[in-house]
Amino acid sequence: MTDRQLMTGNAAAAWGARLARVDYIPAFPITPQTEIIETLAAWIDAKEMPGRLVTMESEHSMVTAAGAAAATGVRVFTATSSQGLLHAMEMLYTVAGWRVPFVMTNVSRGLASPITLEPDHNDIMAARDSGALQIHCATCQEVLDTLLIAYKLAEHPAVRLPVIVNLDGFYLSFTREAVELPDEQAAAQFVGDYDPGANALRASQPVSQAVAVLGSGLYSYFRYEMHLAAQHALAVYDETSDAFAKVFGRRHAAVESYRMDDADYAFVMIGSFATKAKSAVDRLRANGVAIGLVRPRLVRPFPVAALREALGGLKGVAVIDQNLSNGFGGILHGELAAALHGFAPSPPVIASFVAGLGGRDITLEEFLGIADVVRQSADTGVTPPGRLLYSDQELREVRKLQAVAAVERDELGAGP
């Protein structure tokens, strides 16, 4: 009998950690993630789950503790968001280099300034070169399932890297959906015991993890080995998600394709708003437009072969980035274009749209508008310039506030 429950993405993340039987959780609160560690703390306090949760004085210390604990051979979980992830960044790069496995959830939230609580992917995108792998979820069910898969991936002897499981703030973190709760024994059996191998740091047997290497080929060796391990993680991910599908009946491929059979066009996006793209695809398909959705779940490692397979031969692709690399544009667009360039049946039009910054909605009408732009571009063969989804109404609102601000400055005598 299946146990289907209504739960938020945050609760699903906590359940994932619980079912993976984590030993140690260094924690530091930040909206919209805090509910995850609160849930785990309550369970541990009520002796509903074993393990130890320690509140740290910052995310920087939290990730240090996560790496150090993983080096002793215990299974570690932690969670953060936004500025917290940035604060931890120095140590995230460092502990990834130790080649110790742990899983961290990041609940995506836009970065300051201006400060916001609402989601976009600039926080998690900032971590993409850290050495930590990253998997992006679109539903609460995926959050739970991905946590279990992530431990197997991180702990695989040929990978041994931290894995970040990303979920969007608000749209997953505080949103309840039906989630099938895996059987405790089945989950434990699937994840298995962590065999730490050489990761057995003890007080009596000191290990220096962060060695200095100067003036030789050593630095390149160590960093490139991380790259090779991350690339190898693609094959390990496929094996692991296949094994998961066999046990639990849910398939979480490295790249999800939705209604892509016979498609001429595709939306490409990551995260929870991709489900909105599915609504738009259904609508467009009903009107005879041959369009689908391609959603990479893995962003590191980047599933290049699977993306070529899914997008090769199409007439046009619309990449919707919920992030913005200032002075460049959408990050996913750049990475996808690099992956497809020079590959024989590369789509002639790969258009870039930046949207959903700081939690801004992307409406059905906007998805339909994007599909129109891509179809016209495919007809003319001219790729459109990158576009921020921003309405005249939104600009009017900004202009109104700026007019008020100008009057204020005048009245204060502080400005021109």
Partner 1 sequence: MFRIRFHGRGGQGIKTAGRVLGRAFFLSGFEVQDAPRYGAERRGAPMFAYVRADEVPIHERGLIQEPDLVVVADDTLVGVPAAGVLSGLDQDTVLLINTTESADIWRHRLNATGQVLVRRPETATDTEDRQYEAMACCGAAARICGVIDRKTVEAAVRTELADYPEREVGRNLDAALAAFDATSAHQGIVRSKDVLASAPGQPPTWVDLPLDRADVAAPAIHVPLTSVLVRTGLWRTMRPVIDRERCRKCWWVCSTFCPDGAIAVNATHEPVIDYDHCKGCMICVAQCPPHAIEAIPERSADRQGEGE
CB of 46 to partner 1, least distance (A): 12
Nearest CA among 390, 349, 406 for reference residue 372: 349
Asked if 283 touches partner 1 (CB under 8 A), the answer is yes
Asked if 400 touches partner 1 (CB under 8 A), the answer is no
Site for partner 1 in 84-123 (CB under 8 A): 113-114, 117
Determine which residue in the list 199, 272, 322, 377 makes contact with partner 1, applying CB under 8 A: 272
Asked if 273 touches partner 1 (CB under 8 A), the answer is yes
β-partners of residue 148 are: none
Asked if 248 touches partner 1 (CB under 8 A), the answer is no
d(CA 11, CA 7): 6
Left, alpha or beta for 215 (phi > 0: left; psi -120 to 50: alpha)? Answer: left
Residues near 281 by beta carbon (within 8 Å), at least 6 away in sequence: 258, 259, 267, 291, 292, 293
Site for partner 1 in 303-332 (CB under 8 A): none
Asked if 393 touches partner 1 (CB under 8 A), the answer is yes
Determine which residue in the list 366, 374, 377, 378 makes contact with partner 1, applying CB under 8 A: 366
Tokens for 178, please give them.
């039906």
Residues near 151 by beta carbon (within 8 Å), at least 6 away in sequence: 20, 75, 101, 103, 163, 191, 194
Nearest CA among 41, 15, 43, 16 for reference residue 28: 41
Asked if 333 touches partner 1 (CB under 8 A), the answer is no
Tokens for 180, please give them.
């099938």
CB of 341 to partner 1, least distance (A): 26
Determine which residue in the list 151, 171, 237, 265 makes contact with partner 1, applying CB under 8 A: 171
Determine which residue in the list 278, 295, 297, 300 makes contact with partner 1, applying CB under 8 A: 278
Residues lying near partner 1 in the complex (CB under 8 A) are found at 6, 8, 113-114, 117, 170-171, 174-178, 272-273, 275-276, 278-279, 282-283, 286, 361, 363-366, 368-369, 372, 387-393, 395, 402, 404-405, 408-409, 411-412, 414-415
